[in-house]
Amino acid sequence: MNFHPLTSPTEWQNALCHLPNTHALQSWTWAAFKSRWGWQMQPLVMLQPGSDKPLAAAMVLKRPLPRTPFSILYVPKGPAFDYTNEALRGLVLAELEQIARQERGIFIKIDPDVVKGWGAEVEQPAPGGVEFIQDLQARGWRFADDQIQFRNTVELDLTLSEEELLAAMKSKTRYNIGLAVRKEITVRAGTPDDFPALAAMYQETGERDGFGLRPLPYYLDAWQSFHQSGMGQLLLADYGGEPVAAVYLVKSGQKVIYMYGASTEKERNRMPNYLLQWEAIRWAKAQGFERYDMWGAPDEFTESDRLWGVWRFKAGFNGQVVRHIGAWDYVARPFWYWVYGTAVPKYLDVLKKRGSNWVMG
């Protein structure tokens, strides 16, 4: 059994619909968007022998490394298959290793949605995640220094009633939701006409909170791509007819992901982010989704972690902390992997200063 390419977005979507553990970043929409920003998309599927039933799928993104004959390969939040199937795990990993060699890749990176455990301060291990890590280590894969996506997240169970979800929240979070209502914050669905306002808020948020920003056209392209495919939904919190906060939600299987969030310094005392997050949860529940993914939690639950401030906000909604196995690299060319990890970061800093859009994620 081998991976073979697909050329039709319809066929790709049908394959994903028949597989477990799929993710929005494995969608044709996301890959086509990334192909406009320097990546080459390679949709690969593995079929059951003598059948058209998919066993696994991997949306591989390939990017040439500037001024070398080599490339890097990345399977964002994938591949998708039954992670509990030990034999299939071996087949999928072997195929990805072979692809890395064939494509002149320095390495191939995967970060599948495999749960390693649950809980913040005390982690409850997930047996399947432990076994997957053991397989990766036995085959020579390395836990990646460059994780790209958030390793941990917070999820809410949308099968609970709204009353149960509210009751489970911390009292301060419930209070702030009510305060925003009393302070005349309103929440509405956005349209593409609101994307420039979202972009301005996102830039302000990045500068205020100190996280790296890509060029704003990159985000506008992403939001428009998800919107056109029916995967995206923008919600905005307004005060006096002016947007003061926004969330961009992305549908992914049976869950909704809070993938982008932004706010201004204006009217923060009115707690717009709390009401906006609650309305996003209500929207996802009303659409029939089962989980709400708050997209990101600390790697280590200590105040020194870069996401500690974000975690304090998300913790108030009292979701379940989900820990994933993270990103792993199969190194096809060890020397160049070392170069990529040492010299290339300095080179990329030079490119960024010159305004280049060369980015890994």
- Average pLDDT for residues 252-265, to the nearest whole number? 96
Same domain, 197 and 254: yes
* Model confidence pLDDT, tens digit, residues 50-108: 888 999 999 999 999 888 999 999 999 999 999 999 999 999 999 999 999 999 999 99
Mean pLDDT over each residue of the chain, to the nearest integer: 93
Higher pLDDT, 66 or 249: 249
Residue partners of 310: CB distance under 8 A and separation at least 6: 296, 297
* Model confidence pLDDT, tens digit, residues 178-187: 999 999 999 9
- DSSP annotation of 141 reads -
Same domain, 30 and 169: no
Q: Are strands 142-143 and 328-331 parallel, antiparallel or unpaired?
A: antiparallel
Show the domain range for 191. 154-322
Same domain, 257 and 186: yes
DSSP string, 261-315: EEE-STTGGG-HHHHHHHHHHHHHHHTT-SEEE---B-SS-STTSTTHHHHHHHH
Q: Is residue 338 classed as helix, strand or coil in its secondary structure?
A: helix
* pLDDT of 309: 86
Same domain, 183 and 124: no
Q: What is the pTM of this model?
A: 0.92
* Model confidence pLDDT, tens digit, residues 173-226: 999 999 999 999 999 999 999 999 999 999 999 888 877 789 999 999 999 999
pLDDT for residue 357 is more than 70? no
- What is the total count of domains within the chain? 2
Give the residue among 270, 268, 267, 250 at the shortest CA–CA distance from 258: 250
CA 81 to centroid of chain Cα atoms = 18
